[in-house]
Amino acid sequence: MPARTSPARPGTPAGAEGPAHAAARDAVVEALRVRAREPSPDVRGAVASVLGEVGGPAARAEIERLLSDPSDRVRRAAVLALDRAVGGRRQEVARIRRSLGDPAPRVRAAAAVVLGRRRDRSSVPALLARLRAPGTWEKPSVAVALGRIGDHRAVPALVALAARPERWLRVCALHALGEIGAREGRATVRAGLDDPAWSVRGAAATALGSLGTGADVPRLVGLLDDPHPWPRRGALYALGRLGRAEVAGRIRAALADPTPDVRVAACWALGEVGDRASRGAIAELLVRSPLPGALAVASAPLAGDALPPTGAEALQFETAVAALARLGPCRAGSRAGRALAEAERRIGPDALARATRPAFGDRGGGRPPPTLRELFASARAPAGREGPR
């Protein structure tokens, strides 16, 4: 495989790059075009992926050719590559849409993922046709895509999917109904709270964060005692989204849950409901939280063979700081203020410029996530201020 040049960003308009850069990119594409005729599907699939990163008219033309490759693995790679290469070009998006009719389920699933990520409303009729067609392989991807697009036309089909015996289909249907937020799906989501599968109960609880009302609070609080952590996490998320400050005490108790996912959800929910009485408990969680791997580089090395924390455990630190920032400034001498000062000292000044990862996706209206420095500044009381806000 030829060495990567530094191509223009995918979707760069013609004429927006210098002649030398364009010539170098065309040379890369020409070399890749030769490799795209290799007999190995793995090589052709890898070529498609690189062409998606290179972008430009010549790369897009070669990716289009690979969409007709005899190997479904190559066609799947070409669908994903075309998504990276096209920017907002309608013609190629329509070509991705046509891949929903590919004979291979893995290609149809990839097309659904791309169209959902693009929130392509024009693809809703074709996605609904795939949801009603025989077979199950690509249906989870189709349901997720319909949820991301958010079109209410999908609600009846998703309600029907939520009654299927395959639990993974019920999970995807409930998540999609929650994303769409249509009241017509509320009864189906509520019924999912009693499902024997823990993954379905968790999906139903999460969906009630968008669809629930005050009438759902007792059921959600009851799920905080579910034997599996996923329904507990989903219930905490829903209670936070619904702003149920009256159950803050039950949410606060979940900060001691043995599962990191649940602790992160509880911390986030307390910030959402504005429970200032939880500052001390969140500060205690902050003190106990390991540093995420990206921040630990700036601090003392890990002991022995220890690995940096991953997943939800890595989110604890940032989520606790974000929750304290959400709850308003803390006095320097308070329990929370001391915990913040110690946490800031642990990571060092360089890591403060790193953008944070939101615990539950982007709810900031498209704004970039705050940096750690911004969160710490919001959580600290201004100089000379007495008492918490």
Q: What is the DSSP string of 21-54?
A: HHHHHHHHHHHHHHHTT-S-HHHHHHHHHHHHHH
- Helices and strands in the chain: count of H runs, count of E runs: 21, 0
Reply yes or no on whether the pLDDT at 5 is more than 60. Answer: no
> What is the pLDDT averaged over residues 269-278?
94
Cβ count near 19 (within 10 Å): 8
Reply yes or no on whether the pLDDT at 387 is more than 70. Answer: no
The amino acid at 176 = A
Same fold, 1-87 and 150-242: yes
Q: Which fold has domain 150-242?
A: Leucine-rich Repeat Variant (1.25.10)
Please count the residues of the chain: 389
First to last CA, the chain: 60
At which residue do the structure tokens 């986030």 appear? 268
Task: Name the CATH superfamily housing domain 1-87.
Answer: Leucine-rich Repeat Variant (1.25.10.10)
Of 70-74, 106-110, 326-330, give the lowest mean pLDDT range.
326-330
Reply yes or no on whether the pLDDT at 169 is more than 70. Answer: yes
Band the pLDDT of 388: cuts 50, 70, 90: very low
Band the pLDDT of 254: cuts 50, 70, 90: very high
In degrees rounded to 5, what are phi and psi of residue 380?
A: -85, 145
Band the pLDDT of 133: cuts 50, 70, 90: very high
Give residue-wise pLDDT tens across range 10-55.
444 444 566 777 788 888 999 998 999 999 999 999 999 999 999 8
In degrees rounded to 5, what are phi and psi of residue 355?
A: -70, 145
pLDDT at 161: 96
Radius of gyration of the chain (CA): 24
At which residue do the structure tokens 């090395």 appear? 301
At which residue do the structure tokens 């921040």 appear? 295
Give residue-wise pLDDT tens across range 97-125.
999 999 999 999 999 999 999 999 999 99
Reply yes or no on whether the pLDDT at 176 is more than 60. Answer: yes
Of 56-60, 106-110, 174-178, 233-237, give the lowest mean pLDDT range.
56-60
> How high does pLDDT run on average in the chain?
86
> What is the pLDDT averaged over residues 281-304?
65
pTM for this model (two decimals): 0.83
Give the residue among 281, 352, 355, 357 at the shortest CA–CA distance from 313: 357
> What is the pLDDT averaged over residues 346-360?
81
pLDDT at 365: 56
pLDDT at 156: 97
Domain residue ranges of the chain, discontinuous segments joined by +: 1-87, 150-242, 246-389
Cα 220 vs. chain centroid, distance in angstroms?
Answer: 23
> What DSSP element (H or E) covers 251?
helix 248-253
